[in-house]
Structure 1
């Protein structure tokens, strides 16, 4: 065999290998998404006799992008979805998709919908899901796992079976999103009653300390203050076991609920917030120790923040508030988030808006201008822009006020899938702009 013949055979083998590679790669690919409109995808789903899976996303949504890159691309996800569903990705804020998004109550992102061939929602989930959660939801949607309503019938037959109750409560948040009107109210009452009895029963022998039950507490707890307080004490009393089971989120649950309680009290001008403040360095110290700030301790941070709120809500003491809030933000330093600056200005407006001096408005503007560029939540960003506009209006700088109101209106155009909220915001901004015109005449 000549060298030329060997080279030709080698090149032929290489070509055949390259041709074969896409077929092998396809076996391990992620979800193949249908290219077309919602109506076309639903028609294709009906033709194939499969449910429709829809990833309702927004172009600015970080968790949406993360799911697209890290979850939808996983081979085990692709294998199930490509076999069992017609799948569609839909930018819910495009004008042509807004009505469809409204039909399926899409008002946050990502929203993941499983829809039958007649267009009825089988299950809807709001928020990021990992691969296991998405696969479980998909298998339930196609009947490979028992449905919520069938599980509820099992519960009625075996009312003391905690395994059935756990599965019911795990599925409940997704199921409730598919319910309307009286059906929704009926199921909410049932779920709340079951949740309370389930938590109380599992606290008795510490069998509550596991990841699945933590997710149940996180998604269904919090409606009742006394009930939440009991769970906080229970988690805190068993914090080492909880952290071993679910990690630091258990500690953050204690922190979040304690902070919520303090904020509720200071806004009422109730000095008992100091009892909960003291828990940061006593009862809840181990929980708060998971927070690592570069310049300040969690206790000192809370002393400054809640002390500032108390000064303005209880005594309307703006100078003291400004001093303590400045100390709070300075103490946070690099750890300060957009929301920290935004809340500093927001509390100032809410508690003492009519008593603010020129210097107070200028300080509020400075805080908000630090918050706006990095604020990830659209509604918060719009709110901050409007607040800056309001301060400039009070300072009689109408040109700057108009600029910020117009920017707020422009940002609201991204809320096409949240029509009611969008209309309220735009109506408010238009009113503010018309008021400016009158003031300038």
Structure 2
């Protein structure tokens, strides 16, 4: 009996992994180049290696089939370690992390200059950019698939441009009907 249950569970897990959809991540530099050929907005996940909510966002939200499909279709997706040592070129400026310590790669490290430029004050933060690479806004904190769906669709459809007050956002939020499972 244990072998039958084990086999059923194993087959179920294999079928899930076969049908799982992953987000196609690129670097910010790659996304900005891709925008020149095919304009799309950018969704950038700013994370750190030590951040628990960042890992939850990746596992629970970015591995969600609805989120992955929508992001892959409508955005260039970027993963950016806010305390990493990648070099980023943005608006003819180069950003690095001169104080990066490789011994602290999985612990708190020096904040990357690009994270400072974006005024990232918490992890995770998802930063949205328009088709020209201009920052739309950062969204701080862990987001479930239905929570991030609101922002993905609002920014993709430029509906944020008509929202000027907190009351207007609250009305948009209240009327939003999530389609993502999660």
TM bin (shorter chain): 0.5 to 0.7
* Aligned residue number for residue 108 of structure 1: 122
Superposition deviation, residue 170 in structure 1: 7.0
Distance 1:100 1:120 in 2: 14
Highest RCO, 1 vs 2 (Cα 8 Å, sep ≥ 6): 2
CA distance in 2, matches of 1:69, 1:139: 21
CA distance in 1, matches of 2:36, 2:121: 26
Cα distance 1:170–1:25, how it changes in 2: closer, same or farther (>3 A)?
Answer: farther
- The residue that corresponds to 2:163 in the other structure is 151
Gaps of 5+ in 2: 1-13, 87-95, 97-111, 175-182
Partner residue of 1:124 out of 138, 145, 155: 138
- Please give the residue correspondences for 1:130-169 in structure 2 after superposition, counting only pairs within 5 Å: 130-143=144-157, 146-147=159-160, 149-152=161-164, 165=167, 167-169=168-170
2:21 is matched with 29
Alignment check: 8 A CA contact 1:51 1:116 kept: yes
Q: Is residue 47–residue 80 contact of structure 2 (8 Å, CA) maintained in 1?
A: yes
Matches within 5 A, 1:137-216: 137-143=151-157, 146-147=159-160, 149-152=161-164, 165=167, 167-169=168-170
Structure with larger Rg:
1
Q: Is the 8 A contact 2:43 2:128 kept in 1?
A: yes
CA deviation vs aligned residue, 1:200-235 (integer Å, no higher than 9, x gap): xxxxxxxxxxxx6xxxxxxxxxxxxxxxxxxxxxxx
In the TM superposition, what are the counterparts of 1:4-403 in structure 2 within 5 Å? 25=18, 28-34=20-26, 37-96=27-86, 97=96, 98-143=112-157, 146-147=159-160, 149-152=161-164, 165=167, 167-169=168-170
Q: 1:171 to 1:122 in 2, by over 3 A?
A: farther
Question: Secondary structure of the residue that 2:45 maps to in structure 1?
Answer: strand
Unaligned runs of 5+ in 1: 1-20, 156-163, 173-211, 213-441
Which structure has the highest strand share of the two?
2
Asked if 2 retains the 8 angstrom alpha-carbon contact of 1:123 and 1:141, the reply is no
Give the SS at the match of 2:143.
Answer: coil
How far apart, CA to CA, are the structure 1 residues paired with 2:143 and 2:59?
13
Cα pair distance change 1:170/1:102, threshold 3 Å: farther
Q: Report if the CA contact (8 A) 2:41-2:133 is conserved.
A: no
8 A Cα contact 2:127 2:139, kept in partner: yes
Seen in structure 2, the aligned counterparts of structure 1 residues 55 and 170 have a Cα distance that, compared at 3 Å, is farther
Q: Does structure 1 retain, via aligned residues, the 8 Å contact 2:35–2:132?
A: no
Return the alpha-carbon distance in structure 2 between the equivalents of residues 48 and 94 of structure 1: 28
Shift of 1:105: 1.2
Q: Deviations over 1:351-391 (max 9, x none)?
A: xxxxxxxxxxxxxxxxxxxxxxxxxxxxxxxxxxxxxxxxx
Please, which moves more after superposition, 115-124 or 70-79?
Answer: 115-124
Does the 8 Å contact 1:30/1:77 carry over to 2?
A: no
CA contact (8 A) 2:39 2:132 kept: no
Structure 1 or 2: larger helix share?
A: 1
The answer to whether the 8 A contact 1:30-1:76 is kept is no
Paired residues in the alignment total 136
SS at match of 1:90: strand
TM-score under structure 1 normalisation?
0.28
